């Protein structure tokens, strides 16, 4: 019932996202969207590009006086660095005579497969769209979606639990302390000691011209029972969340709840006992990560996402020049040494979109008032159970 379409190249004029299906009269804040874009640009290990860009959203349709109209919402993010790329990324003009094409694909990137698929001689035609710069559009769409979720009491956060093999061990138990610790860390890790070790690991990679990946965790609180469905595979919320998160650049794995750890335990150590306190059902544990049979069960949704090291290495691996087929070091593009902290923000907002999509499917209406009626009636019915 809601969907979005994105467009834009990394060094083109800008990035655009069109969002469709939001109810009318939802109060939205530009500052909240810009805040998520700002968070995406932060994190220890980022490259020089983040010193150039200062992302702010421009809304050109679908919102009036701070409320949605129920019509498509168009958001645009300017690429400030385009001023240095106007000839190399020109839309209509002929290529400059001295244009230097990218012909040495980077291992681990979309370069070679993309160039073959779309029949490009210049890999820049691939890497400009495959670039993680385009995750700014995912964050903008997710930042809008999370305002819908927050309206109904659903909140999200993400924190880094591992970088380069350095793992968080001592993470705060309370929601507020977890958010505070993660937001104050240069790597978005809620364990201060692990945070220092992660920074050192990133410095080690930088000194070698290398990169490091890691793992981050997303937590969604406040979801009602019943989002998603077991009726068809493509309606299972666990599958939809995993698919969306796997679609983020450089993501290689997604766990829900205990994830792969569940494969090492007896069932009695995995599944969550069901209790009742006289007014509602309770779970003493959350090994399922808030999802059973592809449906939310009322517990927090817990997702862990694995990101590989960035493909661009300043000490590049060997590759092949696509023109001559001669062995050459891979091309080097301006990049990050570690983008796990930034990826956690992207993942947080991508998850917000998927949950908002499921929420709209269950409680949808043309206006926010209609949705409020649907949510209230459902909660009353659930309370009777």
Residues forming beta bridges with residue 275, ordered by sequence position: 282
**Taking a C-beta distance cutoff of 8 angstroms, is the pair 159, 344 a contact?**
yes
63-110: per-residue pLDDT in tens?
999 999 999 999 999 999 999 999 999 999 889 888 999 999 999 999
48 pLDDT band, cuts 50/70/90, is low
194-249: per-residue pLDDT in tens?
999 999 999 999 999 999 999 999 999 999 999 999 999 999 999 999 999 999 99
| Model pTM score | 0.95
Indicate the SS3 state at residue 194: helix
Kindly tell me if the per-residue pLDDT of 328 is higher than 90: yes
278 pLDDT band, cuts 50/70/90, is confident
Q: If we measure between CA atoms, which residue out of 236, 300, 288 comes closest to residue 258?
A: 288
Indicate the SS3 state at residue 144: helix
User: Cα separation of 308 and 130, whole Å?
Assistant: 15
Tell how strand 63-64 and strand 155-163 pair up. Answer: unpaired
Query: Residue 272 has what DSSP assignment?
Result: P
Confidence (pLDDT) at 27: 98
Confidence (pLDDT) at 198: 97
Residues forming beta bridges with residue 61, ordered by sequence position: 74
Query: Residue 27 has what DSSP assignment?
Result: B
CA-CA-CA-CA torsion sign (315, 304, 341, 78): positive
165-198: per-residue pLDDT in tens?
999 999 998 999 999 999 999 999 999 999 999 9
């Amino acid at each position: 019932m809601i969907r979005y379409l994105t467009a834009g190249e990394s060094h083109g004029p800008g990035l655009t996202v069109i969002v469709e299906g939001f109810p009318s009269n939802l109060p939205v804040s530009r500052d909240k969207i810009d805040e998520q874009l700002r968070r995406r640009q932060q994190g220890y290990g980022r490259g020089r590009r983040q010193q150039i860009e200062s992302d702010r959203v421009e809304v050109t349709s679908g919102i009036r006086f701070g409320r949605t109209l129920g019509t498509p919402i168009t958001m645009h993010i300017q690429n400030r660095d385009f001023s240095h790329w106007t000839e190399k990324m020109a839309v209509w003009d002929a290529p400059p005579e001295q244009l230097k094409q990218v012909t040495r694909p980077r291992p681990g990137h979309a370069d070679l497969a993309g160039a073959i698929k779309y029949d490009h001689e210049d890999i820049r035609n691939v890497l400009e769209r495959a670039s993680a710069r385009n995750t700014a559009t995912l964050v903008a769409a997710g930042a809008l979606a999370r305002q819908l979720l927050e309206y109904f009491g659903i909140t999200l956060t993400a924190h880094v639990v591992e970088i380069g093999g350095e793992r968080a061990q001592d993470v705060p138990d309370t929601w507020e302390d977890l958010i505070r610790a993660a937001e104050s860390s240069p790597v978005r890790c809620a364990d201060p000691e692990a945070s220092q070790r992660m920074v050192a690991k990133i410095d080690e990679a930088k000194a070698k011209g290398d990169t490091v990946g890691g793992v981050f965790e997303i937590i969604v609180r406040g979801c009602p029972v019943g989002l998603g469905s077991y009726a068809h595979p493509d309606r299972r919320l666990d599958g939809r969340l995993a698919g969306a998160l796997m679609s983020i650049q450089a993501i290689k794995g997604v766990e829900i709840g205990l994830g792969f750890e569940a494969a090492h335990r007896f069932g009695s150590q995995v599944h969550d006992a069901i209790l009742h306190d006289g007014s509602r059902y309770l779970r003493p544990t959350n090994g399922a990560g808030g999802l059973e049979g592809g449906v939310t069960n009322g517990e927090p949704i817990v997702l862990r996402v694995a990101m590989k090291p960035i493909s661009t290495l300043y000490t590049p691996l060997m590759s092949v020049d696509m023109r001559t087929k001669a062995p050459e070091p891979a091309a080097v593009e301006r990049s990050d040494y570690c983008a796990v902290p930034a990826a956690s923000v992207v993942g947080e907002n991508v998850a917000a979109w998927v949950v908002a999509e499921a929420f709209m499917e269950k409680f949808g209406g043309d206006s926010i008032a209609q949705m409020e009626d649907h949510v209230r009636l459902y909660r009353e019915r659930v309370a009777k159970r």
